[in-house]
Amino acid sequence: MKLFIVESPGKVKKIQGFLGPSYRVMASFGHVRDLPDREMGIAPPDFTPEYVATERGKGILAKIRAAAKDAEEVYLATDPDREGEAIAWHIEDALGLKGAKRVSYTEITEQAVKTALRSTRGIDRHLVAAQECRRVLDRLVGYMVSPALSRQSGDKLSAGRVQSPAVRLVVDRERAIRDFKVTAHFGVDLVFEAMEHITDGWKASWLPKEGWLEEGQDYILDKTLAEQVAAVSSVVVLDCTESESKTAPPAPFTTSTMQQAASTALKINPAACMALAQRLYENGHITYMRTDSPNLSEEAIAEIRSWAAQHDYPVPAAPRTWKSKEGAQEAHEAIRPTHIEAEEAGENEEEQALYRLIRLRAIASQLEEAVYAVRSLRLEGEAADRKAVFEAKGRTLVQPGWKALVTKDQTDDGEEEDENQIPKLEAGLSLNPQEGKLLSKKTRPPARYTEASLIRELEKRGIGRPSTYAAILENITTTHQYLGLEKRNLVPTEKGEKAVDAMNGTFAFCDYDFTKKMEEELDAIAEGKGRYQPLVAESHKQLRAEIDAYIAVTSPKCPECGQPLRHLVKAAAKGHKGYNFWGCSGHPDCPATFADAGGVPGERQDTKPKAEPSEYVCAACGKPLIHRQGEKNGRAFDFWGCSGFPQCKASFANDAGKPGERQDTKAKKAASEHKCPKCKGDLARRQGTSQKTGKAYDFYSCLGKCKATYNPTEDGTPEFEGRQRK
């Protein structure tokens, strides 16, 4: 039996059918190991990650280990990207597999899987290092910066290496909208009667830039002036030009453009889009859905061109290719159907709709350009003793080309451009407009981001990678609620703006260019041109300095010593009542504490006078004793304690204002003549009254390693034969 390990359980049945009974196909269900949940899991100077099995991963690793013992060969066939490469390495490393073979394919078809089995390789440690570095950098930002933000702000805030600049984009856009100053201005359209085949008439727009705007002016602000232009009763045709324009089809989908199109055309958010694409991929309908390459394989192009020719769709003489965006990894081809002839695929309406979108886009990418006949008219009239120039532009689709399948690039939120037919007129012809329309206009602020346009902006700026965009949006909208949705537009919440204000200008990872540069560094590691440790070490050093600077700038100063105050907050939980106060960072040298007053230090709390050392000395260490009196947790106390605490824990009862009998129960008791039968250690008899319960106690305790305890007999000796003390 040969063991074939895939990443998703959705692939198991299909691939098992391809490989037959001589193989056993098992799933890892994604990652089986990760950094620990409640601790950093990395430390200087080498920053070697400390991995632990995930809760689900423990059981899965046990099952894979049992199956691997009986396997002739083990194939690691996790997804063909950095995450998949890392999962394969984790399985190999956790189980100590020797001679396991890495298998990689980008479509789940019998031919692709069996071809991959004939060209196995070892695990690419450069890809693993790049994934590991990304995970560790994210952990550093999250675990180092988030607590500082929360302490200083008094609100539970979270920082993310990529999520924070994404939130900042939306916050910056929202503030630009708020600060936008609307300018009211005017325009003019001349409306002409129907002629030739243009049954609804046509119009020409005034061009105020040709002789009407003063220096530094962008718009016509004088309504009276615009009204005079609208009153033009006669115009002359200056010229009529005709040309041709061509529009090339959009490229096949990358991960990013698929998410944008699904959001715009299908109203499906990026996380849901990726889940649908995952199922289509697992069921063998489309190629791998995490890619930033816009180009198809030669075999796929040949299949599409053959299909198009058979169905009378025009194809260009040479196959189409596209230039990739800067920084694209291009490990896999663009997203396409595995069988181009299959018009429908998917188990529900949403899967089917996404499949159609992918299929038509892939086919359209290899069709002829759309060709338009373009006509432009320039007209001239006279108003306010000046020449007024008007322009009319229109176009007509004469060869649909790819638009026979797809009418527009569906990654674009804008409307389809109107064809606006214009008549063919001779220069010098005089025309009388039916109407001059005065247009009252207002300048518009920049548009809010949608999920689609934010993804487009992130990709344009090189922030994150296409495979991470869905997770980023889920994180900042749902998990942390830094952004909300209003009519499909992203708007920052108060918490989101607070987080950006806390980080921006202090932490470099909030800078757009910094984030792009970091992605380039990760790509260099994946290509074997960079190293993990120097990048992580430098990032850690920079974050530490930025956090210190942030605390120094944002902290109120302690009035006692001038050092920064820290906001210490812990929510109440079972067995813990929680706390919320400000304490001096100079503690314990400076014990000053202050109540929290709405996120700022309030009334000072440590107002009780500091107890002074007395003339009495500690019998245990010789340091001065301090008389301590007061109440704690509803219980009064009155005793003498050593000033050497916590190094010396000796304490003495108060006897009429003087130190009395020693009472620290932790003090070492004198050994008796009896020995412990378990470890041969000395036994000490312990007698007294519990301060907690008020009950008397009397027992023997072993001073050796076993710490056994025994009840005393009637004659005062340890009861070894009887029941051990509970």
Please provide residue 594's backbone torsions phi and psi, each rounded to the nearest 5 degrees: -140, 145
In the set 51, 75, 281, 288, the catalytic residue is: 288
- Which amino acid is it at 650? A
8 Å CB contact between 164 and 172: no
Q: How far apart are CA 551 and CA 543, in angstroms?
A: 12
Q: How far apart are CA 193 and CA 530, in angstroms?
A: 69
SS3 568: strand
Of 451, 519, 23, which Cα lies nearest the Cα of 258? Answer: 451
Radius of gyration over alpha carbons of the chain, in Å? 38
Of 397, 447, 399, 445, which Cα lies nearest the Cα of 419? Answer: 397
Q: Is 710 known to be catalytic?
A: no
Q: How far apart are CA 220 and CA 212, in angstroms?
A: 8
Where residue 88 falls (left for φ over 0; alpha for ψ -120 to 50; beta otherwise) is alpha
Q: How far apart are CA 87 and CA 69, in angstroms?
A: 20
Give 588's strand partners. Answer: none
Strand ranges for 35-192 from DSSP E: 52-53, 74-76, 101-102, 184-192
- Which amino acid is it at 265? A
8 Å CB contact between 320 and 111: no
Give 215's strand partners. Answer: none
Of 716, 718, 696, 695, which Cα lies nearest the Cα of 708? Answer: 718
- Alpha-carbon separation of residue 510 from 27, 472, 515 (angstroms): 37, 14, 7
Peptide bond into 646 cis (omega under 30): yes
8 Å CB contact between 193 and 431: no
Report which DSSP code applies to 510: G
Q: How far apart are CA 667 and CA 648, in angstroms?
A: 10
- Alpha-carbon separation of residue 600 from 151, 554, 563, 596 (angstroms): 11, 11, 15, 6
Strand ranges for 59-103 from DSSP E: 74-76, 101-102
Q: Which residue has the tokens 């400000």?
A: 582
SS3 528: coil
Report which DSSP code applies to 308: H
Q: How far apart are CA 92 and CA 27, in angstroms?
A: 14
Report which DSSP code applies to 615: S
Report which DSSP code applies to 142: I
Report the largest interatomic distance among the alpha carbons of the chain, rounded to a whole angstrom.
134
| Active site positions, annotated | 288
